[in-house]
A and B are shown apart, each in its own frame.
Chain A
Amino acid sequence: MATRPIWDETQILPETAHALFADAEGLQTLWGNIDQAIWNTRSKQRGARTQETRRQIKAQYEHTAYADNVIDLEAHRSSAPQLTGWAATLERLIIEVGRIQDGWDGPGSLAPSSSVQRDFEAALGVLPGSTAEPEIEIDGSTGSITVRWMNEIAASAAVLTFMGDGHCIIMDFNPARAGSAPIICAVHDETKILDMLDATTFGSLLPAIA
């Protein structure tokens, strides 16, 4: 199995990636390296920069690939280095959210804005690999995204909502902690997000985070 080099994500620039667009093999390598770097980084500043760079590269790549009709995007994705665990789940959810268009939930309904998507990706990207797949709900009147982990009888739940303002609302619903107020957290504050979630129902539902 080929070794996947760790990309120095602090050096990635969209222009660098763009230069590789003509080389599908090089692009696949770049794609894998970026993903690898994102899921490996534990520095919130580097992580934030990498997430943003990755988003720009993907947007530019998809635009180019579609416009030139030179690369089958789905085929490319399926041949790209495979993520596993929560990273793979999140990657799929990000793609699904990104496909939603205004009007998806009836006339006048809103899709998640680019800022909502960006916050969603940034905050959830810090969760551990053992994180279980949550419920994802989008509110058609606001375009906000809600992420929910709950136990089987829906008596306890940890919930995050993204409004697109650079923050997430962390909510803990647990009969043993009836007085838990919502917590506002910057999406790039990796330490606070993990600390807050660890103290909520999320921590008890997902022991691996502890």
Chain B
Amino acid sequence: MGVVDDEEIILRASYDPMHWKKSKIQSSFVRASHLLEGELSVWRSSEKSGLTVSDVMLITDGVAPPGNTTKQLHGPLAREIRGLRNPSGDRLFCVVDETTTDEAGGHHPAHAHIRLCDVQRASIAGVSDPNFEWARQRLILLMKQPATTFPRP
């Protein structure tokens, strides 16, 4: 499918009950290790991918961890993710075409990854690096904005 265009909706799933437990304690839907490794799994909704948000929800239901269903899709535009900057004004993230969906060799043409830009990645010491945590939290906040959230109908 090729390069992810700026106007594509980039969808990250949060699952019930994995990310929506009965208690007030939730698990993060942006795992630090996945983001640091450049493998934060997302899906593309656009004319280019030929998928609507509802189509993506069917896909994420299909790949959900056992016993889970998609509760919400968090979907900013690729342009908004690429526009996130660190306090120094440097770009934080890339959105890259990556059809590999899991370690078992699954593929899907509308799959992509969010990863740190190379310059950022080179300066990050690890998951406990405050600058990395700041970047992760900035991304989570973007994805939590009501305007970019698609709940299950």
* Chain A interface (Cβ < 8 Å from any Cβ of B): 92-93, 96-97, 100, 104-106, 109, 133, 135-142, 144, 146, 148, 150, 152-155, 157, 159, 161, 163, 165, 169, 171, 173, 178-182, 184
Point out the residue from A135, A140, A150, A182 that lies within 8 Å of B130, measured CB to CB. Answer: A182
Instruction: State whether A136 and B128 are in contact (beta carbons under 8 Å apart), knowing that A106-B65, A142-B33, A173-B138 are contacts in the complex.
Output: no
Q: Which residues of B contact A136 (CB under 8 A)?
A: 24-26
- In the complex, A200 Cα to B52 Cα: how many Å? 38
* Chain B interface (Cβ < 8 Å from any Cβ of A): 18, 23-28, 31-34, 65, 85, 87-89, 127-128, 130-131, 133-134, 137-138, 140-141, 144-147
- In the complex, A124 Cα to B68 Cα: how many Å? 32
A160–chain B nearest beta-carbon distance, Å: 10
Point out the residue from A142, A146, A152, A165 that lies within 8 Å of B137, measured CB to CB. Answer: A146
| CB atoms of A138 and B144 under 8 A apart | no
Instruction: State whether A184 and B18 are in contact (beta carbons under 8 Å apart), knowing that A135-B26, A146-B28, A150-B144 are contacts in the complex.
Output: no
- In the complex, A158 Cα to B39 Cα: how many Å? 26
- In the complex, A48 Cα to B33 Cα: how many Å? 31
- In the complex, A111 Cα to B34 Cα: how many Å? 17
